[in-house]
Amino acid sequence: MSASGAMPPGLKLAWYGDDFTGASDTLATLAEAGLKALLFLDVPTAAQLAAAGPLDAVGIAGAARSMAPAEMREALAPVAQFFAACGAPVLHYKCCSTFDSAPTVGSIGEAVRTLAAALGDRPALIVGGQPSLGRYCAFGQLFASPGEGGSVYRIDRHPTMSRHPVTPMAEADLRLHLSRQGLAPIASLDLGDYEHPASDPGDALEAILAVPGNAAAAVLMDLVSDSQLAALGRLIWQRAQTAPQLCVGASSVAQALLRHWGVAGPARSGGFAPAQGPVMVLSGSMSSLSARQIDAARSYEHVPLDAAKLAHGDAAYERTLADRIRTLLRGGRHVLAHTRSSATVEGEGRAAESRALALACGRLLRQVLESTPVGRLGVAGGDTSSLALQALAPSAMEWIGRAAPGVALCRLHATPSWLDGMELMLKGGQMGGDDLFETLRTGL
């Protein structure tokens, strides 16, 4: 790397998204900046990589966010091997920008331990915010806005994330939150370590790690402003020149590297054309923002989904729904199939029910689309997106445009002709404006 921070040639970044919405957002961040990036739906084979040609960045979309620790270890073991062999200097475990996770579901600590086993004993670097999405980390405390331009809440007082049905955020200090997942000790780079004109975050980090007996498993780095991205990117890239550097965080990891390389804005337009033919949206998200987006989608025929029947595997109910949706689509109607009610059980059973619901949504999508393909598909909800797309089983995704901050529109690569070329929007429960589903239809 030159001192100027110019973008280097070759493969620079490999990332794994713990859900498909997050993985596609990092794809959008890189592709919009002009990098050649491709997102695979599994660890890519040598033949797939050869067919893709030279890449600046390569991603893997996964579903670790919805998994128990043992399942995570099994799913991430081949990812760790790929990370160790791919030659990318920066390796990124892309988690949700709200860091919602738990020791028993989607454990970020478990992910870091599994990936680090193939990468040596260097501490992981955790980027704790993403200001472009209204996510801020100050002195280790995470804050988030519930929507575009909304008020900012400490994450343990956030109106949605503090009440998440599977992984409620009850602790705002990310060091404590992640230590409960076995990621400890965690050192900190606070705002003062890189806000002062005379300070250098790299020097501050080396000073922290040089303290006798300080065997940090990770270092949490504050981020409250886009103006801090370049300094964080420089720190990450400099450390990656001596050995692969594992990073954890939202798409702000990619944003930091881009800013360090001097990419200050998009090189490609994020706009996209109106949909050709009927659009289908399936929402398994229970967030209040998703509810507003559903209410605002007046151009769609609404098909309410009974979450309990789907989660409990009512096959006859699934077939009835699929028949109704197919009929509407074949009649030229846009269709929005959505859940509204929360899961029907509490405690640890809620995670299992949420996963069962997402899997059922995947089966429903496949039943519909195999016989009635659409030109454009939207899926809302982190777990729903990940598990539903696994049911469709495309091989890869390329970026088309950006429907909203944190929401990408992609084109699927797949062997079945009914799926290949389909345009897909994935969104988490906290992403997009109220008119997002209408924008998916009309273009941007």
10-residue stretch averages of pLDDT, the chain, 444 residues long: 65 94 91 94 94 95 92 96 96 95 96 90 93 94 84 93 88 97 93 70 80 82 94 94 95 96 76 91 84 93 92 91 96 91 48 79 92 91 78 90 88 91 87 92 90
Q: What is the pLDDT of residue 346?
A: 43
Q: What is the pLDDT of residues 191-206, one digit of tens each?
A: 888 666 556 777 888 8
- The pTM assigned to this predicted structure is 0.85
CB of 351 closer than 8 Å to CB of 245: no
User: Is the fold of 13-260 the same as that of 279-442?
Assistant: no
Domain spanning 279-442 has what CATH number? 3.40.980.20
* Tokens 């989607």 -> residue: 106
What does the pLDDT read at residue 343? Answer: 45
Closest residue by Cα to residue 304 from 270, 341, 338, 355: 338
Does the structural domain 13-260 have CATH classification 3.40.50.10840? Answer: yes
The pLDDT assigned to 289 comes to 84
The angle at the Cα of 100, spanning 111 to 132, to the nearest 5 degrees, equals: 105
Please state the domain extents for the chain: 13-260, 279-442
CA dihedral defined by 263, 265, 268, 274, rounded to 10 degrees? 150
pLDDT 10s digits, 126-172? 999 999 999 999 999 999 998 766 789 999 999 989 988 888 999 99
Q: What is the pLDDT of residue 119?
A: 84
Question: In the prediction, which pLDDT does 2 show?
Answer: 36
Type and span of the H or E element at 366? helix 348-371
Q: Dump pLDDT digits (tens) for 244-292.
A: 999 999 999 999 999 999 986 776 667 889 999 999 999 987 778 888 9
What is the secondary structure of 285-313 as a DSSP string? ---HHHHHHHHH-TTEEEEEE-HHHHHTT
**Residue 148 confidence (pLDDT):** 66
